[in-house]
Amino acid sequence: LPDDFDWRDHGAVGPVKNQGSCGSCWSFSASGALEGANYLATGKMDVLSEQQMVDCDHECDSSEPDSCDAGCNGGLMTNAFSYLLKSGGLESEKDYPYTGRDGACKFDKSKIVASVQNFSVVSVDEDQIAANLVKHGPLAIGINAAYMQTYIGGVSCPYICGRHLDHGVLLVGYGASGFAPIRLKDKAYWIIKNSWGENWGEHGYYKICRGSNVRNKCGVDSMVSTVTAIHTSKE
Amino acid sequence: AASVSDEEEPLIRQVVGGGDDNELELNAEHHFASFVQRFGKSYRDADEHAYRLSVFKANLRRARRHQLLDPSAEHGVTKFSDLTPAEFRRTYLGLRTSRRAFLRELGGSAHEAPVLPTDG
């Protein structure tokens, strides 16, 4: 594995988006993962629709029937991948634009630009997470967002952070040496794409420390899923 | 000072220092005025304005706690600084699952990722 890796340098990450006042983070995490996978499958960056999932995806977790995708009231990325397998895929952002509100489903199958071939959940192992990131593209992950409300920049590495996951984001890379002044040493970190616009964090991104010896990573390694895409050409 | 739109890079980073609560209290109104202008916030009436100022003050204290607990990052005023933690969770977070369910899936699902080689 390389010491540093960032899918933004390889064209597999779309622009930073803004979910607005809507609990649809899960759909941004899922669309970001599929945008990356689709880029790897087709060589083309198609910016994909979250609103399609907000409006049309009501898939439930097979092991927890109460955990269903519910638009602005929340959802789960693996449920979204199941929905995408069943529905055929995602339209582009342009064809099905984001409104930030729950609405009636207007999905048009003829406008699908990216389709899921398969998805997997990755074990709680930093090396496996990094390997899956490098091999399959950006990964959909869950995180505890307690420190994100006040985050401005730098490598977040809290002494205390819960592992309860409440936010869906996209893991796009990692670095070996982000300087942590208080600890007087370089820290390895994950690079996370958020969906709160470019004027949050580091141009829309969050850095959190990584390493098997690091505790309190806000559960960042505990819910990781990867997706692969198939090429869909328009008739 | 200049106002900036939601899409622009903020010109000034409002961070929290290491001063005491009195100092934070004294500067809070100034920080709040700057926050309102910077993020184009508007409130229904004077009562709402006063309530949001009180929330903002609490969030300044919270940001300072976060700065102490998370010293390698920079914490301070963000566009969410007028929201209570509950409002923030309700409005901007939306992951609906328990980690237990996810681990159960990881334990025996057809969707478990194969182990990849990581050396060389």
Q: CA-CA distance, B95 to A201, in Å (whole number)?
A: 20
Q: Could you tell me which residues are beta bridge partners of residue A168?
A: A142
In chain B, the largest separation of any two C-alpha atoms, in whole Å, equals 64
Which helix (H) or strand (E) element contains residue B64? helix B46-69
- In this complex, is the C-beta atom of B83 within 8 Å of any C-beta atom belonging to chain A? yes
- In this complex, is the C-beta atom of A180 within 8 Å of any C-beta atom belonging to chain B? yes
Contacts of A121 (CB under 8 A, 6+ apart): A78, A223, A224, A225, A226, B102, B105, B106, B109, B111, B112, B113
Q: Which of B12, B41, B87, B97 to mutate to test the interface with A (most CBs of A within 10 A)?
A: B97
Residues 37-56 of B with CB under 8 A from A: none
- In this complex, is the C-beta atom of A174 within 8 Å of any C-beta atom belonging to chain B? no
- B12-40 per-position pLDDT tens digit: 556 665 556 666 677 889 999 999 999 99
Give B-chain residues touching A141 at CB under 8 angstroms. Answer: none
Which helix (H) or strand (E) element contains residue B85? helix B85-92
- A90-128 per-position pLDDT tens digit: 999 999 999 999 999 999 999 999 999 999 999 888 999
Closest by CA to B88, choosing from A145, A193, A14, A200, is A145
Contacts of A12 (CB under 8 A, 6+ apart): A35, A36, A39, A40, A45, A137, A138, A172
Mean pLDDT of B88-106: 76
β-pairing verdict for A151-156 and A205-209: parallel
Residue B13, pLDDT score: 58
- Mean pLDDT computed over every residue of chain B: 80
- Does A73 sit within 8 Å of B94, measured CB to CB? yes
- In this complex, is the C-beta atom of A188 within 8 Å of any C-beta atom belonging to chain B? no
- Does A74 sit within 8 Å of B113, measured CB to CB? no
Give B-chain residues touching A132 at CB under 8 angstroms. Answer: 113, 116
- Does B118 sit within 8 Å of A130, measured CB to CB? yes
Write down the ipTM of this complex. 0.91
Per-residue confidence band for A232, with pLDDT thresholds at 50, 70 and 90: low
- Mean pLDDT computed over every residue of chain A: 92
Chain A: closest CA distance from residue B46 (Å): 23
Q: CA-CA distance, A5 to B63, in Å (whole number)?
A: 30
Q: CA-CA distance, B61 to A42, in Å (whole number)?
A: 48
- In this complex, is the C-beta atom of A157 within 8 Å of any C-beta atom belonging to chain B? yes
Residue B65, pLDDT score: 95
Copy the structure tokens of residue B116: 């990849």
Q: CA-CA distance, A70 to A22, in Å (whole number)?
A: 11
Residue B18, pLDDT score: 55
Contact of A133 with A174, CB cutoff 8 Å? yes
Q: CA-CA distance, A184 to A189, in Å (whole number)?
A: 15
Q: CA-CA distance, A218 to A104, in Å (whole number)?
A: 35
Copy the structure tokens of residue A25: 């983070």
Chain B: closest CA distance from residue A235 (Å): 31
A76, A121, A156: residue with CB nearest B96: A76
Residue B5, pLDDT score: 39
Q: CA-CA distance, B15 to B31, in Å (whole number)?
A: 10
Give A-chain residues touching B98 at CB under 8 angstroms. Answer: 64, 67
Rounded percentage of chain B residues whose pLDDT exceeds 70? 68
Q: How many CB atoms lie within 10 A of CB B52?
A: 20
Q: CA-CA distance, A184 to A182, in Å (whole number)?
A: 5
Q: Identify the DSSP state of A90.
A: E
- A171-187 per-position pLDDT tens digit: 999 998 765 555 556 78
